[in-house]
Chains A and B, each alone.
Chain A
Amino acid sequence: MKNVTLDPIDRQILLASQDGLPLSITPFAVLARALGLEQAELLARLRRLQERGIVRRVAAVPNHFRLGFVANAMTVWDVDDAHARRLGRTVGALSFVSHCYLRPRRLPVWPYNLFAMVHGKSREETEGQRAAIAALLGDACRASDVLYSVRILKKTGFRLRPQDPEAKDEPCSG
């Protein structure tokens, strides 16, 4: 995974579009024009970036709260290591689970290793989802907790920074 480099034009395309594409029926043509590129070249580069997985997709990022999903929760589980991988795959396949991860425990403050994000339109619905996960995990689960989202404080996502990452960072002033 080391030495993955973006060529300067790819980088320029991503920097110019990561905050939002032009809202046009031909967004790539507008962007290409702004960058002094041919649209065909810009599209070919974006497709290549998507093939390499650097661009997951070109998409809209929804705000769950504003869409009526007001009971968003991170459910966390202390699952027997011997079964964690198999059970993680099973939980991750549930339709109401948007993300599912295995993470390290940090004892004594954090005993949970399996994380599943669930989204409901009410806490009642979310508690039902949590109960369904608990039933799936059965005896392999020793303890669990649920952490409801109160507020989204920031949701910018990963952003490229304008400077070349190979360049030495200047110490931050101010």
Chain B
Amino acid sequence: MRVGDALLRALLRGALVVVPRDERSRWGEEWRADLRDLRARGMTLGEGLRWVWGVATTAAFMGLEEVMMDGWTREIRHAVRGLLRQPGFTAVAVITLGLGIGANSAIFSVVNGVVLEPLPYPDSDEIVTVSTAFPTLGFETFWVSPPEFLELQERTRSLEVVGGYRGSQTSIGGGERPERVQGAVATAEIFQALGVDARLGRTIGPDDDVPGAEPVAVLSDDLWRRTFGGDPGVVGRGIDVDGVRTTVIGVMPPGFDLNDEGIEIWQPLGLDRAQPGGRGSHYLNLVGRLAEGVSVVGARRELTDLVAGWQEATPGAGHVPNPETHPMSMEPLHDQVVGPVKAALYVLLGAVGFVLLIACANVANLLLARAEARQKEVAVRVAMGAGRGRLLRQFLTEGAVLGAVGGVVGLGLAWVGLEALRALGPGELPRLQEVDLDGTVLAFTAGIAVFTGILFGLAPARYLTGGVMAGTLRDGGQRSTAGGSRVRLRSLLVVSEVALALILTLGSGLLIRSFSELTAVDPGFEPEGLLTFQLFLPNAAYPEAADAPGFHERLQERLAALPGVTGVASMAGLPPQRDLNANDTEFEGLEQREEGPAHNVDYYQTVHGPYLETMGIEVVAGRDFSGADRADTRPVALVNETLARVFYGDSRSAMGRLIRPCCGGDDWFEIVGIVEDVKQGGLDAPAGTELYVIAEQTAQVFGFAPRAMNVVLRTSGSPESLVPDVRRAVAELDPALPLAGVRTMDEVLAGARSRPRFLTTLLGVFATVALVLAAVGTYGVMSYAVAQRAREMGIRMALGAEAGTVRGLVLRRGLTVAVVGLVVGLMGAWWLTGLMESMLFGVAARDPVTFSAVPLLLLAVAVAASWIPAHRATRVNPVEVLRED
């Protein structure tokens, strides 16, 4: 019974806390008396608990009623008035918060749209991609060959459907001007796997996808609107695709794409299932949909088993998938699309999180300073009987109002920032068109704003504790020399600001270093003054193998005659970002050894005209191709230094050796020259092995010359100004030929560096913001510390202290705070920059240069931020300070 009474009384006391102050004692006393009487009349503990619960809800309603009646609206008006009275403070706080919240909302929008949102297909988490690998050749992700695709299709039970496709550049006529677009040839299953139907007409069906079927095409919504004016009548009409009359059978819904490739026209692959082609010819991307109830893990397990038994299931076939040299792997389509940028986006999200934390620390500092300035007022109000709850509520309201206004400003900034991101990075981020400020982002922003608001509201609340209050009244407010604990708290905030800013600036510094390394990479040719564009010669108009070299010869004659052009050539692959060829190649006199290099060449480069000279590629040994190398002369080849080194040991030994490129011919090509390496697989990757042949000779030997060639012109003036002349020259030869990708080579190189530049720019912006905010924070705290100690400084000056001594005193203090922050930041960065390893090029994650230069930079900023307050300290007038007492 005793224990029950004590429990009930304790609960009752707890409930009383929320009763408004002016009614608390009355109801407290009444309830205690009632409880006692009820217990005396035999109320059980259970009933007692119910009774207390009723009392507690009553109390809660009383508290709430008061708040609703006279609380928040007045409080908010009060807070707004107070904030408007100090426009400088308010503007700084709101802008600081707006920056933090805006940057977070913008980057979170991108992360949300790109990484978190599912892909825009029904049940998109069931869609997977399948690829192969040749680990012994160093290819971790490789395409699938048609026989492998068909066998997988037949054997898998985990995939409900699996289809294959490959990207292709496609010329479309019939519109106003011939156009070159990204297309794909795909099997009918691709559309089933993606689960998306045409918005008009139909998608590719099994009957379209057989050899010899009527040529048909499905258009993207964008292409349909752009080239065919959004005319629904286009379905069923014939258009000119790569010179072939092709019937449009459907139009896909807006935004439909695959793997972010920007595919605008879909055509059937038309695989001959009876004779699917060579096992070694890997060119398909596979996309499948998991069968009902099968997980990715389960499907992967099945794939592993299939690979292990592939040879057994395919007797007699060579070159089949196997676990050691040719495994297959499966990953969700989402990972494939998003994977390359995920890490970078999370780094950015972390970075803006830091910016927000720094912004919060700064605003908390501002509010603390404000609360301190009003400390005496607050202490007096408490002493006069103002409820602590009321004051706490006032602080919270001020913080919330700031947070809300900051949130609105931040939302505006986020919108602007997002537009900028869209403009800056169309090629850098997948799915960028799907990114938007949607409900999730709004909720995220509102969450941040409320959170920060509450955080600041609570910052000054510590001044409400009794001890501080009494001290304040005693020592007469802000002229006190005993504000030590307050300075400590604020110094702590600055320490964390400096630490966070250091981490950000270090990360940004590493990226800048790595970007400059990337810019300094020698692509292997001279990009200045080069103009390039792509031409595709359709089969229909140029049926013979020799037609293409013939066309390029005529074109080069015309282009070379243009004023300002000093050289013209054509090449099949445009450096520095080509897809890998990885063609099997025979080397005369070289045994394929188990441990030796596989007889396979990374890049074939078919050229026409004075290629090396035009591009500015050096011949290291031997000779260049010459006009004397014709279709009917002995086939010759050039190789790069890497190929010579890998297969022959050095350049000299490679000279004169015979080599047989893949696919069809019996003739050996003699290596007549060695050229310097050209970056083909990206500026940040090793050059790889490369083999050069001339188009006329491949046409002769293989009966094949590449139809898509990149023309390159070296100009003495500005390359851009030549574009109209070039277009005219091409049109004079064949008005139906579209020019694609007309760019200067500098632009091509910039494109190859655009993703790192995107990341570097953004992180640089955030680091700068962080640095400025940290400087503002340091300045604020040092100013405050000086104001606190003005009296002490005055006395020192009056007693004859040198200005330098006083200034040193303040500076030392500022530096101490900064150094502590730097040490903490360095420890954090040491760990965090390790996460950036994969984004860096040519610089270590703990690069000593960056790790020593950046802290010095921050130290300099801290000195600068402390200098003004230090200088002010020497200007304290002792007479005035002492008179104020």
A, B co-complexed: no
